[in-house]
Amino acid sequence: MATVQDPVEVDAEKLEQFVFRAVDEVGATLNAALVVMGDRLGLYRALAGAGGLTPVELARRSNVSERYVREWLNAQAAGGFVEYDPIGGSYTLPPEQSVALTDESSPAFLPGFFQIALGAVIDSPRITEAARSGEGVGWHEHNHDVFDGCERFFRPGYNANLISEWLPALEGVVEKLEFGIKVADIGCGHGSSTILMAQAYPKSTFVGSDYHEGSIETARERAREAGIENVRFDVAPAAGFTGGGYDLVTMFDCLHDMGDPAGAARHVHDALAEDGTWMIVEPNAGDRIEENLNPVGRAYYGFSTLLCTPASLSQEVGLALGAQAGEARIRDVVTSGGFTRFRRAAETPFNLVFEARR
């Protein structure tokens, strides 16, 4: 029998507040495309350090149509990305925004973050359809902004932390790397982490691998450009990378993307030397959902819905850990692969770094 529900009382003030907050979100959604546009057209770079520029001056410096530049600048000013001077009709990129929007070497560099977000949004109709059936969408099926954005988003963080903080946080690993050991970097994408380690430790040899052939081709190109010889890149799934007796195996932001992370853990266990180390870098997350309901968690749950979860579901087992799995679930996966020691070795606001030993 149907029951009549009491009418729900709506607080008009709260409704208005929510609508205005949502308007800000619409502006933010569009800003993902505008930041990528400003990055691609060189608008931020032309503004950086230039003081106040009018739209005509910026258009001339960047060789972009003035009418587009003027509208873009107003959107940037409304969002606080540039400052507008109504007296002179000029726009300035403050020094902090200059770093965050133009300095690829800074850990604060943002365009890669926006690029991967825009790439994920572009592919979202496919994810919406997959969600109806529960089928997956492979990492390799995405557009290039996802791969390039991922590289540009992660690389500055690795530059800032990997050699100076994360590797030294592992027991005895830096000494071994300096002496010369064999390292496998699994799910390496475009190879930023592999190349960085290979440059820092020339006596060690590095094998980067990823199941995505396109990413490995780019990684090989990056290694050629960097002129390094102690690195090789292979196309291989995590549960089947070649070689054995590795002293160090690394995984950067990819364990949760795998369909069978426990199978990968077993393979790493077998491929490691007796006293070898497995370093796992994962997105920073608490074990409980309520711990992740903050801006970083929001971005990661978004990426997880559109990229990571479908990627895992597209593979065998389809465990779909999600990008906010948290330490307890990662520990379960790692120990199910035969590892007896597991600890959190380091962390940043964006990442957790784990050390696993046989």
Ligand X SMILES: C[S@@+](CC[C@H](N)C(=O)[O-])C[C@H]1O[C@@H](n2cnc3c(N)ncnc32)[C@H](O)[C@@H]1O
CB of 41 or CB of 317, closer to ligand X: 317
DSSP string covering 107-141, please? TT--HHHHHHHHHHHHTHHHHHHHHHHT----GGG
CB of 131 to ligand X, least distance (A): 19
CB of 142 to ligand X, least distance (A): 10
CB of 35 or CB of 308, closer to ligand X: 308
Q: Does 76 bind ligand X (CB under 6 A)?
A: no
CB of 55 or CB of 156, closer to ligand X: 156
Segment interacting with ligand X (CB under 6 A) among 97-105, 164-172, 205-213, 269-277: 205-213
| 101 and 81 Cβ atoms separated by less than 8 Å | yes
Closest listed residue to residue 120, CA positions, set 186, 32, 42: 32
Name which position in 119, 187, 297, 337 contacts ligand X (CB under 6 A).
187
- Kindly write out the interface string for residues 283-322 of this chain, putting x where it contacts ligand X by CB under 6 A and - elsewhere: ----------------------------x---x-------
CB of 62 or CB of 192, closer to ligand X: 192
Name which position in 210, 247, 327, 347 contacts ligand X (CB under 6 A).
210
CB of 215 or CB of 277, closer to ligand X: 215
- Kindly write out the interface string for residues 221-260 of this chain, putting x where it contacts ligand X by CB under 6 A and - elsewhere: ----------------xx-------------xxx--xx--
Name which position in 45, 152, 176, 212 contacts ligand X (CB under 6 A).
212
Q: How many residues are recorded in the chain?
A: 358
CA dist list (Å): 323 to 91, 260, 292: 38, 15, 11
CB of 214 to ligand X, least distance (A): 9
CB of 76 or CB of 192, closer to ligand X: 192
CB of 152 or CB of 182, closer to ligand X: 152
Cβ atoms < 10 Å from Cβ of 316: 11
Q: What is the DSSP letter of 164?
A: I
Phi, psi of 315 (to 5 degrees): -110, 165
Distance, in Å, from the CA atom of 302 to the CA atom of 296, rounded to the nearest integer, reads 10
CB of 72 or CB of 166, closer to ligand X: 166
CB of 210 to ligand X, least distance (A): 5
Count residues near ligand X (CB under 6 A): 22
Give the pair of three-digit tokens for residue 224: 């050629």
Which residues 119-178 are close enough to bind ligand X by CB under 6 A? 139, 150-151, 154
CB of 58 or CB of 279, closer to ligand X: 279
- Kindly write out the interface string for residues 90-129 of this chain, putting x where it contacts ligand X by CB under 6 A and - elsewhere: ----------------------------------------
| 244 and 269 Cβ atoms separated by less than 8 Å | no
- H or E stretch covering 183: strand 182-186
**Residue 340 CA neighbour count, 13 Å, CB half:** 4
Distance in Å from the first CA to the final CA of the chain: 60
**Residue with tokens 């390799």, as numbered in its chain:** 140
Closest listed residue to residue 257, CA positions, set 314, 301, 193, 213: 314
Q: What is the DSSP letter of 171?
A: T
Name which position in 211, 233, 246, 342 contacts ligand X (CB under 6 A).
211
CA dist list (Å): 89 to 53, 67, 71, 230, 320: 8, 14, 13, 54, 51
Q: Does 337 bind ligand X (CB under 6 A)?
A: no
CB of 55 or CB of 259, closer to ligand X: 259
DSSP string covering 161-184, please? HIIIIIGGGSTTHHHHHHH--EEE
Q: Does 282 bind ligand X (CB under 6 A)?
A: no
Which residues lie below 8 Å from residue 41, measured CB to CB, with a gap of 6+? Answer: 62, 64
Which residues lie near ligand X (CB under 6 A)? 139, 150-151, 154, 187-189, 192-193, 210-212, 215, 237-238, 252-254, 257-258, 311, 315
